[in-house]
Chain A
Amino acid sequence: MSVIVKLLSKFDDSGIKKAKGSFGGLKKTIGAIGIGIGISQITDLLMESAKAASADKKSTELLNTQLVKNAGATKTQIKQSDKFIEKLSLQTGIMDDDLRPSMGKLVRVTKDVDKAQELLALSLDAATVSGKPLDTVATSIAKAFAGNTTSLVKLFPELKKSKDLFGDLADTVGGAAIQQADPFMKFNNSMDILKEKLGAAVLPLISDFVDYISKPGGVIDQVGKFLDDLSNPKSEAGKVFTDIKNAVKDAFGYVRDFFAFFGNGDAVEGFKNIATALIKALPALLALKGIMMLASAGKSIANLAKAIALMTGAGAVGDGGGVLAGGKGKTGKVPFMSKLIGLPVIGTVAMVLTTSGDTMQKGPRDLTGINPKTGLPYQMSPFGSGIMASGKGFQANTKNNITINVQSADPKAVVDAVSKYAKNNGGLPPIFFGKKN
């Protein structure tokens, strides 16, 4: 228990980044399993799956070699080991590609598949509890198995006097990996395994395709031959290419003639004339575009009125135009509007839309139900907007009033002032919204 006076605070977004990462992974996975994806994404997925399967195959083969060389594992044992890794990965949410190197490390030391599996599970639990990477913990456990307990004891000091190192460690950390598994990671992992399985199915097809296109007389050779023919004007393909070139040349001639028509025979002059005319017409085009945008965006009469004001150029977009004059009780140019479109109601709509704040009401205000002392309605709660800063409402309804003087009613300044008051006075006074008993 201590009192802390903050001098400077820091924002740490590591937790947010982690959550974002999890969600990002989830999004990717959902994309990968085909929710709302297009053809190109499907092909991307297939390629990605094939890549994953290829990497997975490589790491599996590497581990299997280790199992055979170090533990003399049989085919059944290898198969069982694959299943064990997959199961462990699904349970803990840790990638199988991360599990295999650790398993390999343990097999090299134990020379026994079953013992290595047991120690791998223990390493996972220990890694979860200690917060260290799996590889580091697995190395420590492998060293401890070989008789060097220093690094393992450093990780778990409580094992210093232990006689049964692994038994005691299992008692301390057993089951932590499965218990603490991140559901997002588990889900992502499951999807990765699915992807690998999909990739394993696609991989032979891709291998066949690669073999097919690269064999002598295959697609690569054929495409190469076609390109050679294209550059030779004597070949069939070369002739076609020349024809295309001529057609383009003719088309360009037609375009040149078109522009020359507007420039008394000079194509460049004609192009200049057309461009100048377009630039002159641009404001009108923009105004027309403005009408379409506003009319479609708002789909209301008021928006149409604004669009018409834009078209007539009555004060462009920047200054709000005649109809947009609004604000602080101005009524807008209603007669002008009604004359323009012949619908008097449109002017009224525009006025209501553009007049903001408290000055909309014309003539004397209706003060029925207003407390002359506070300037507030009789039934109004003292916590209406703006009352807290002035303190008027507090005086009217409760004795526990706080007067806070804040320049320019900056919300941050109000919050600072209230927190300062609370720190100085040990909190805010109790507030009674109903009747006091």
Chain B
Amino acid sequence: MADDIVYNAKEIVKALNQLEPGLKNAMVKEMRVVAAPAITAIKAAIPKVNPFESKVRPVSNTRGRLGWGVGRKPDEVKFSLKTKASKKFAVTALASLRVNSPATALADVAGKGSGVPRRTVTDSYAWKGQTRSHRVTTQGRSMIRHLKKNNDNNFVYPGVEKSLPRVQAEIKLILEKYAAKVNRKLN
């Protein structure tokens, strides 16, 4: 189900706090409560153990930025309400659920592409008085194969799919309720 698009959301949210300080927070709180089933569903769908690990790679993805559980919890799902405009797009997410762990995101999107790299060689850069570039490796393929074999990829959306339409409708209703408050006060 495609998400609905609302207009003048920024103005509504801005007007809320002008109308009564803390009204925006109350709205976000309500939205968060409504989004809870979807958050739970996503959390349940995220693998409980490091999905990158295999018998041949027992310590894979345990360190660094993309390490499983490094920096952020793998099953951290947050509700977000952003009214800031994008420089690139006219339509952007107002309310969304974000899985912030890079490792979880990596596992989720693995295999969603065509599997064919766009380029075979990286950009060249200056190195010790000469230029240098690298071949794009194919190491990711075995990782994707491994994740797919264990059904550890593409879990976020399928996990939330059932509860999503109801949550989306309720979030919209909440926004409409608060928008009506603003309109009533202004008129």
Interface residues of A (CB under 8 A from B): 1-16, 412, 415-416, 419-420, 423-427, 430
Does B161 touch A at the CB level, under 8 Å? Answer: yes
Which residues of B sit under 8 angstroms from A11, Cβ to Cβ? Answer: 5-7, 90-91
Listed by A's residue number, 12 A-B pairs whose Cβ atoms lie within 8 Å are: A3-B108, A3-B109, A5-B160, A7-B93, A7-B168, A8-B6, A8-B96, A10-B9, A14-B85, A16-B90, A423-B161, A427-B113
Interface residues of B (CB under 8 A from A): 1-7, 9-10, 35, 38, 42, 83, 85-87, 90-102, 104-106, 108-109, 111-114, 153-154, 156-158, 160-161, 164, 167-168, 171-172, 175
Which residues of B sit under 8 angstroms from A7, Cβ to Cβ? Answer: 3, 35, 38, 93-97, 164, 167-168, 171
Q: Which residue of A lies closest to B172 (CB)?
A: A8
Contact A13 B90 (CB under 8 A): yes
Which residues of B sit under 8 angstroms from A415, Cβ to Cβ? Answer: 2
In angstroms, Cα B157 to Cα A420, docked, is 9
Given contacts A10-B7, A420-B1, contact A4 B98 (CB under 8 A): yes
New A-B contacts (6) at CB < 8 Å, excluding given A4-B96, A8-B171: A1-B102, A2-B98, A4-B97, A14-B85, A416-B1, A424-B158
Q: Which residue of B lies closest to A424 (CB)?
A: B158
Contact B158 A9 (CB under 8 A): no
In angstroms, Cα B105 to Cα A423, docked, is 14
User: Smallest Cβ distance from B98 to chain A, in angstroms?
Assistant: 5
Q: Which residue of B lies closest to A422 (CB)?
A: B112
In angstroms, Cα B91 to Cα A14, docked, is 11
Which residues of A sit under 8 angstroms from B105, Cβ to Cβ? Answer: 1-3
Contact of A9 among B4, B153, B154, B156 (CB under 8 A): B4
Q: Which 7 A-B pairs have the closest CB atoms?
A: A426-B112, A10-B94, A10-B9, A3-B99, A12-B85, A7-B95, A8-B95
Contact B156 A3 (CB under 8 A): yes
User: Smallest Cβ distance from A68 to chain B, in angstroms?
Assistant: 45
Q: Which residue of B lies closest to A419 (CB)?
A: B2
User: Smallest Cβ distance from B46 to chain A, in angstroms?
Assistant: 10
Contact of A3 among B4, B9, B83, B104 (CB under 8 A): B104
User: Smallest Cβ distance from A170 to chain B, in angstroms?
Assistant: 27
Which residues of B sit under 8 angstroms from A419, Cβ to Cβ? Answer: 2
Contact A10 B102 (CB under 8 A): no
Q: Which residue of A lies closest to B88 (CB)?
A: A15
Which residues of A sit under 8 angstroms from B94, Cβ to Cβ? Answer: 7-10
Contact B86 A12 (CB under 8 A): yes
Contact B6 A10 (CB under 8 A): yes
Contact B114 A430 (CB under 8 A): yes
